[in-house]
Amino acid sequence: MNAFETAQPDISVCVPIYNEEESVGPLHEAIVAALEPSGYSFEIVLVDDGSKDDTIPRLRAIAAADPRVMVVRFRRNAGQTSAMQAGIDHARGRFLVTMDGDLQNDPADIPMMVDKLGEDYDLVVGWRIKRQDKFLSRKLPSKLANYLIGKATGLPIRDNGCSLKVYRAEVIRRVPLYSDMHRFIPAMSIPMGARVAEVGVRHHARQFGESKYGLSRVLKVLLDLMVITTLLVFARRPLARFSGIAFLAALAAVVAIAAIPASTPAVVPMTVAALTASLAVFLLLLGLVTSVPFQFQSDRNPRLTSRQN
């Protein structure tokens, strides 16, 4: 076991990759060129998301030549979020960097973002100032998502969808990732009290292959946005919110029972009352259970419980 394998690096760069045989070589070179002069020690975690081209042989060749590179392979395509989670799970660095593997993100921005993280932030988000993507399939849905997330969270992030982000390891490991939720990490970190910064980064047009995104993903992104918005709304004092819903349900039941004609068999209002009581109890218990994990997430890490501006 060499020194690299035993020492914890400063930075872990986690890159999900799918059918990027032409990009992986230049990507590795760009990451190394950006980080070697920075003074930070680093590792590169390349996660192959079930590629069907020659990506894996090329990744293995890169790892054989550079001991700082780790290759994680999926036997089938599981999606970008799952690949990103695998990279995070295997990373050992104090700071974790996520980025796309298509050369559109620029590794040269990483040292600047890590330096920004050192200004007492938990998460630094890249903002693609001059985004090189199609308007209808990429830019327009992104603008809509950013607007809705901002309204739901009060977090004025202009580019939640930019994959180039830098995290403190203890923060990102507490954010559950599923579906296509990787683009909502800044929003999901808010209930934990994480401090978020946004910096302008470069963005390049795709050099090789074809984009994996398209209009077919827009609906899924919007559905995920509905889910995360609901979670964020109820993450703030969930017991109080569910109690309010329970009260409204009980009030509606009282009105409904009062409107039932006197000639109606007694079993009808009794059934309505029983169902309403059951619903109210369920909502109260749901609010209590929901409040526990959010409180636990903050309490287990003192850094995230009290913020000083």
Please state the domain extents for the chain.
Answer: 3-234, 237-304
CA distance 107 to 35: 8
Q: How confident is the model at residue 172 (pLDDT cuts 50, 70, 90)?
A: very high
Buried b (16+ CB within 10 A) or exposed e, 98-120: bbbbbbbbbbebbbbbbeebeee
CA distance 240 to 68: 49
Per-residue pLDDT tens for 291-301? 544 444 444 44
Cβ contact 192:304 at 8 Å: yes
The residue among 42 and 299 whose pLDDT is bigger is 42
DSSP-derived secondary structure for 174-225: TS---TTGGGGHHHHHGGGT--EEEEEE-B----SS--S--THHHHHHHHHH
CA distance 50 to 73: 7
**Cα torsion 184, 127, 302, 232: sign:** negative
Can you give the pLDDT at residue 57? 97
CA distance 201 to 105: 8
Can you give the pLDDT at residue 308? 31
Per-residue pLDDT tens for 50-86? 999 999 999 999 999 999 999 999 999 998 889 999 9
> Looking at the domain 3-234, which fold is it?
Spore Coat Polysaccharide Biosynthesis Protein SpsA; Chain A (3.90.550)
CA distance 290 to 284: 10
Q: Measured between alpha carbons, how far apart are the two ends of the chain, in Å?
A: 43
Give ∠ CA 198-158-103 in degrees, rounded to 5. Answer: 75
Give ∠ CA 166-170-175 in degrees, rounded to 5. Answer: 80
DSSP E strands, 68-174: 69-74, 95-98, 123-128, 165-168
pTM attached to this predicted model: 0.71
Q: What is the largest CA-CA distance in the chain?
A: 86
Can you give the pLDDT at residue 309? 30
The residue among 128 and 217 whose pLDDT is bigger is 128
Can you give the pLDDT at residue 16? 95
Q: How confident is the model at residue 137 (pLDDT cuts 50, 70, 90)?
A: low
